[in-house]
A = this chain, B = another copy of it.
Amino acid sequence: MPDLIHDGDSAAAVSSLRSAVMLLGRRLKHQRVDESLSPTEMSVLGTLARCGSATPGELARKEHVQPPSMTRIVALLEAKGLVRLEPHPDDRRQKMVSRTEQAEAMLAESRSKRNAWLANLAEGLDEDEWEKLRAAAPVLEKLAHL
């Protein structure tokens, strides 16, 4: 790993990444597939889709949100019938949160809409640019979870 702080090119890349990620993130927030679902709620459903089920505390850590915030998010999702809450098998303080079939269907439907928006935006890129972005996507995802 080069010295990211003192290598000029890398410093420029880091700065570029930051502003791009923040701006793109703000624009993505507006592209809700389901108007009644916030970005974080969507993200939680996505996490549950990957992990199967988790406790509120685990979800809060994974989403980088404080536990009280996750409490509200989970409550909203439950009210919408998108997650199910069950008692934790070993620890009665905790709960197990898992998604419902309804959430499954919504995720599938929304995924195509989301992809369409971003893909449409990406039409403004040429072949070469898109190739670079595609190569970097898994890396960016890894970075986001580090």
A→B interface (CB under 8 Å):
1-2, 4-5, 9-30, 39-40, 43, 46, 63-64, 111-112, 114-116, 118-127, 129-130, 132-146
Contact = CB atoms under 8 A, between A and B. Distances in A.
Given A21-B140, A22-B39, A64-B23, A114 B15 contact: yes
A121 B141 contact: no
Name the 4 nearest CB pairs between A and B, nearest first: A25-B25, A136-B136, A4-B119, A24-B144
A133 B115 CA distance: 21
Given A5-B112, A13-B134, A17-B140, 5 more contacts: A5-B116, A16-B137, A27-B64, A30-B64, A121-B143
